[in-house]
């Protein structure tokens, strides 16, 4: 009987041959499982950061949105370490492919790519020591529009929109729309942000201005500054007025401020719509073109339609020919005799001097220079000096902004409605 002799070392050979397979399975189980866990944590971090950024983007702009997103990346560590993050702003459109596109002048979404480089375990057997892991989160402003609207609807104040409706607003912008189209669209979106009012929250009125003040000697309704909507809690009234404004004539910012000052009073508001102890708020938007002072030559000592250029000399002229404003500190819409400022600035100063600072009922003027024409200096002087919650880390605390294009105006009004007004009058 023959005995079959087993060859020595066969088991060792088999084990050696199976080692790559064993390590391969170990790599699949351990390393891929670990990477899957890391990937899930990165996804949670990216989603949370994108949501935080999108919420702040709606109210405060890109710079603050990026700070908020990075803060959430730090709050959500991955395997005990802070992930790296790449943050981009762009536009989100659910009907487009891809739905998120980076860039654009008016971003409405935030993309966060959270990524780390992870050391592997068994994959080192195959000379793979580490690998990059990443996850992408995207959030759009639309997810927070309702929330912001709910906050905005609690704003307490009497808000007058003072809008330039002159001929220069028909100029075409670099973005394509005319200034007029951009103004109407941005203002309507701002009004929608305010949401439906309540009995104790806020009222909105609309004054549109051109060459003259309402009822002056020219009596030209197409170029007068007019009260289009008395203070009302019905936002739709303001929306309709903005949509149907007729644009013509030159620019007299002073005329618009006079009409707004007369309109932001209890006796001028719609009955029952004045917000008692609400802060008077003026939002003035103008391209600043050709500001001038129209006067009745029959009343003007100079016999012309303008007072002398030097405000110190012109003070008595203005007092004679401009309409009396009983509620104004000076009693009329002219300049202080010893102050060399344009009439619009003097009217703005009188508006700011009203109210009671202790009760926080003193008026505040938000001033937006719209377009690339002259007029920034005047619009800056009109603005109130201290602007609560001013966004984007702007060191200038005045309530003044410059909107070169329609998209800029839209963003500024979104931010005013989303954070500045809420912080001011809530």
The pTM of this model reads 0.64
pLDDT at 386: 74
Neighbouring CB atoms inside 10 A of 305's CB total 15
Neighbouring CB atoms inside 10 A of 390's CB total 21
pLDDT at 326: 47
Question: What are the percentages of helix, strand and coil residues in the chain, rounded to 5?
Answer: 40, 20, 40
pLDDT at 250: 77
Closest CA to 226 of 260, 270, 251, 181: 260
pLDDT at 313: 56
pLDDT at 228: 92
3 Cβ partners below 8 Å, 6+ apart?
Answer: none
- What CA–CA distance (Å, rounded) separates 213 from 347? 13
Superfamily, domain 146-425: von Willebrand factor, type A domain (3.40.50.410)
End-to-end Cα spacing for the chain: 104
- What CA–CA distance (Å, rounded) separates 214 from 332? 15
pLDDT at 330: 47
pLDDT at 339: 52
- What CA–CA distance (Å, rounded) separates 299 from 285? 31
pLDDT at 73: 92
Neighbouring CB atoms inside 10 A of 277's CB total 11
- What CA–CA distance (Å, rounded) separates 312 from 53? 51
Map tokens 């391209």 to a residue: 287
Residues of the chain with CATH 3.40.50.410: 146-425
pLDDT at 246: 86
- What CA–CA distance (Å, rounded) separates 362 from 54? 33
pLDDT at 62: 85
DSSP state of 420: I
Closest CA to 187 of 366, 388, 426: 366
- What CA–CA distance (Å, rounded) separates 133 from 214? 66
- Name the β-bridge partners of 102: 90
Which residues of the chain register pLDDT less than 50? 214-218, 294, 296-297, 300, 305, 326-334, 336-338, 391-393, 425-426
356 Cβ partners below 8 Å, 6+ apart?
Answer: 362
């Amino acid at each position: 009987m023959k005995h079959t002799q087993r060859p020595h070392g066969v088991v060792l050979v088999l084990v050696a041959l199976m080692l790559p397979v064993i390590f391969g399975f170990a790599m699949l189980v351990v390393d891929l499982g670990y990477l899957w866990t890391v990937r899930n944590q990165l996804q949670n971090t990216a989603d949370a950061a994108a949501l935080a950024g999108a919420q702040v983007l709606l109210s405060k702009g890109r710079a603050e949105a990026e700070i908020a997103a990075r803060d959430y990346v730090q709050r959500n560590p991955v395997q005990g370490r802070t992930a790296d993050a790449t943050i981009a702003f762009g536009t989100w459109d659910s009907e487009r492919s891809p739905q998120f596109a980076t860039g654009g002048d008016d971003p409405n979404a935030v993309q966060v790519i959270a990524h780390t480089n992870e050391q592997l375990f068994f994959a080192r057997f195959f000379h793979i020591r580490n690998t990059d892991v990443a996850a992408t989160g995207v959030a759009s402003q639309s997810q927070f529009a309702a929330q912001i609207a709910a906050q905005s609807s609690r704003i307490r104040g009497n808000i007058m929109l003072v809008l330039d409706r002159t001929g220069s607003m028909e100029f075409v912008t670099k973005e394509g729309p005319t200034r007029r189209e951009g103004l109407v669209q941005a203002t309507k979106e701002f009004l929608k942000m305010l949401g439906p009012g309540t009995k104790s929250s806020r009222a909105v009125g609309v004054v549109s201005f051109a060459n003259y003040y309402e009822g002056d000697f020219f009596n030209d309704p197409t170029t007068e500054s007019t009260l289009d909507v008395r203070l009302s809690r019905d936002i739709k009234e303001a929306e309709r007025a903005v949509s149907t404004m007729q644009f013509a004539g030159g620019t007299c910012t002073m005329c618009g401020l006079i009409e707004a000052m007369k309109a932001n009073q209890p006796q001028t508001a719609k009955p029952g719509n004045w917000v008692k102890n609400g802060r008077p708020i003026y939002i003035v938007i103008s391209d600043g073109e050709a500001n001038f002072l129209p006067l009745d030559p029959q009343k003007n000592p100079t016999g012309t339609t303008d007072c002398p250029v030097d405000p110190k000399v012109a003070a008595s002229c203005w007092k004679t020919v401009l309409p009396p404003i009983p509620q104004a500190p000076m009693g009329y819409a002219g300049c202080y005799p010893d102050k060399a400022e344009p009439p619009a600035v003097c009217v703005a100063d009188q508006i700011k001097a009203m109210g009671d600072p202790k009760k926080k009922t003193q008026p505040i003027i938000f001033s937006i220079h719209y377009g690339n024409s002259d007029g920034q200096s005047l619009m800056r002087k009109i603005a109130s000096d201290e602007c609560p919650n001013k966004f984007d880390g702007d060191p200038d605390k005045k309530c003044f902004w410059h909107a070169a294009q329609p998209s800029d105006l839209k963003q500024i009004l979104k931010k005013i409605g989303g954070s500045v007004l809420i912080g001011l009058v809530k």
